[in-house]
Amino acid sequence: MARDLRLFYAFRLLATSYLWQPCFLAFMVSRGLSFSQAVALGGVYSAILIIAEVPTGAFADRIGRRASMMVGAAAMVASSAVSYYAHSIAAFGAAECLAAISMSLCSGADSAYLYDLLSDRGVAHEYDRREATASAAHLIGAAAACAAGGMLAEIDLALPYLATGAVAAGALLIAAFMHDDGPRVPRVAQVPLGTELGAWFHHMREAVRDVLRSGRLAWLVGYSAVVFVLLRATTYLYQPYLDAQSFSLREVGFVFAGVNVVGAFVAHQSHAVRRRVGDERLLWGLLASLAISFVALAAARGPWAIAVIGVQAAATGLYSPLVKPLLNREIRDSGRRATVLSVESIARRAAMALFLPLAGLAGAAGALTLCGVVGLGGLIVLAIASRGPTPRQDRGVPTRVGAEAVD
């Protein structure tokens, strides 16, 4: 199992190491797009993810999580190549579609792969700690990618896309050497290829029912959607915000890298923090600090701005290792685990698709305040929802994870 874990961590390190992240807005503008068009492409990305999430989650359950991860890495290679040659909004739209398919094939499948890898060996209780380590590996890879991408962008704005394609190819190669988990849906439940799409929709319907039947799971999905919007928004807002403060592309890359380094450290320590502070306090503290930080960032300048970005970086590191274990412990049927996680991802992406047009209308500066409003509004709605009878109050890290999890 140690070898499989090392390969999994390496995959997480490389699979989402996008070197274009600190410079994609500048690159699109250099190819003739406006800020509002670039943000609109983010809406296209979210829309494609919404369409693809459940079918690709069902694909991961029925065919294998490793196979899904491999195809996802290949799709990112293709997306990077299309972006490199793109000179129109249509071409960039095609690249965004490929990137969305890549993310949907990996999102959920990787967490489900890790959980079942541990569960099959009787150590599911280690998932929280292993997910934290994997999240830290992902953020370390993202930090190195952002630093390198900023430096490459000062040479040529297109170079980070070529480098991202090469890194994604490395992730594909690593996944090829991982343990082949095979299909998680029993063979007797599978159907001929001609009716596979119908089986996917049935699988999706059952996964949605799983979410709706569990008040706690539905609440966590809503919480994840609000926090995700705030964290994802920084990808679009930091670049123009830092550019307005005269940061060079290299410096923007280092800021993005710093965000990921701080996030990696917090992710690595998250298991211990959860035990010390408790999940419920962290859930509320994470959302409250994000909402306040965006209001502060709109007015901050110089070192104060970097300090506020540091708070958001810590939230980035805590989000996944806090929310994913809580989601996984509420999923009762492992045969639908990747699909349920895809349903959660759909909720996040739908929220992002609704947010991005508003951000484009508000402009880069106004969108910071908009994020604060979304955070505070989400905090109020979730607080009201938590007063219902179904959400369970978890005091800390569960001693076991999965269908038999206990507090």
Q: What is the tens place of the pLDDT at every residue in 248-295?
A: 999 999 999 999 899 888 988 888 899 999 999 999 999 999 999 998
Q: Which of 359, 354, 355, 288 is nearest to 318 (CA)?
A: 288
Q: Which of 158, 34, 59 is nearest to 109 (CA)?
A: 59
CA dist list (Å): 174 to 12, 65, 170, 224, 326: 10, 14, 6, 29, 28
In the block, which residue shows the tokens 């095609």? 94
- State the pLDDT at residue 195: 61
Q: What is the tens place of the pLDDT at every residue in 297-309?
A: 988 888 889 999 9
Any idea of the CA torsion for 110, 114, 120, 125, to the nearest 10 degrees?
-140
pLDDT at 204 over 80: no
Domains of the chain, each with CATH number or no CATH:
2-385 (1.20.1250.20)
CA dist list (Å): 85 to 44, 92, 153, 219, 285: 19, 9, 15, 43, 44
Directed axis angle between helix 249-277 and helix 127-155, to 10°?
170
pLDDT at 114 over 50: yes
Q: What is the tens place of the pLDDT at every residue in 148-164?
A: 999 999 999 999 999 99
Contact 323, 224 (CB under 8 A): yes
Q: What is the tens place of the pLDDT at every residue in 143-202?
A: 999 999 999 999 999 999 999 999 999 999 999 999 887 665 554 445 554 565 576 677
- State the pLDDT at residue 361: 82
- State the pLDDT at residue 220: 92
Q: Beta-carbon neighbour count of residue 332 at 10 Å?
A: 15
Q: Write the CB contacts of 382 (distance below 8 Å, at least 6 apart in sequence).
A: 219, 222, 223, 226, 287
Contact 35, 58 (CB under 8 A): no
56 or 39, which is more confident: 39
8-state DSSP, 181: -
Element (H, E) at 153: helix 127-155
Work out the average pLDDT over 56-69: 81
Cα-atom radius of gyration of the chain, to the nearest Å?
Answer: 20
Q: Beta-carbon neighbour count of residue 322 at 10 Å?
A: 27
Instruction: Tell me what the pLDDT averaged over the chain comes to.
Output: 85
